[in-house]
Amino acid sequence: MTIGGLTVVRDLELSIDAGQCWCLLGRNGVGKTTLLLTLAGLRPAQAGDIRLGDTALTALTRKQIARRLAILFQEQADSFPVNVREKLLQGRHPYLQPWQWETADDHAVVAGLLRKLDLEALAARNIQTLSGGERQRVAIATLLAQQSRVLLLDEPTNHLDLSHRLTLLGMLAGECRGRRHALLMSLHDINLAARFCDHALLLMGDGETRYGPVNKVLDSQVLEDLYGHPLVEVTTAAGRAWLPA
């Protein structure tokens, strides 16, 4: 995979299995977003192929892909003044026929997510009037409304305060393991990645990658090479953490 003539990912052979929660780490501009878009089929792969289960992504329609894979973009572009409940219902559209209205089951899925993400009080609000953090939570709830087995998230903690950040990542990790979803999300915080993810994919910046279980991949020397900055490893009640030296 290249960006502007620079190879950022080379010879990547990655399998994300059901129940695994992966983090995607690397410096700014290293290709994390581009990789997620490629895995979602929104950018053509330059070599090799991408498969959902046993089926090549290129053999599926966008509607079929949307039933199996959901992606959260880094920034939310809410062009239409719908309310929060209507926004979440958009996540159910891959299951509807043309001109079909949402069913009682669709509304039940949305009601459950409004409760789960503490959005009930905002259900009737115009999404364009929400704060950045509120819109991010709505976007994640919409993604979960798709009930896809594969979840790709580009910086899901954007705009979230500390409490919502921890709650959200805990919920996503729980959804992944409890419902046997496969999850890959780009993060900027090494410590959140170590706390909530069981696997890691590191884009080193020169086309090389490191990937595997978190307890093997998240090594102090590797992380210093990844970010180009010295780190100090500490042990906390929540596990290993790294501080800038």
- Cα–Cα distance, 192 to 141 (Å, whole number): 20
113 inside domain: yes
Residues 6+ away with beta carbon under 8 Å from 155: 74, 185, 186, 187, 188
Backbone Cα Rg of the chain = 18
Instruction: Say which residue the tokens 């009601």 belong to.
Output: 111
What pLDDT, in 10s, does the model give residues 30-60? 889 999 999 999 988 887 889 998 899 999 9
88 inside domain: yes
Can you read off the two tokens belonging to residue 206? 């020169």
Bridge partner residues of 177 (DSSP): none
The CATH number covering residue 168 comes to 3.40.50.300
Per-residue pLDDT for 219 more than 80?
A: yes
pTM value is 0.93
135 inside domain: yes
Residue 179: give the domain boundaries.
2-213
Average pLDDT score, the chain:
91
Task: Give how many domains the chain has, as a whole number.
Answer: 1
83 inside domain: yes
φ, ψ dihedrals at 119, nearest 5°: -115, 5
- Cα–Cα distance, 50 to 244 (Å, whole number): 36
DSSP 235: E
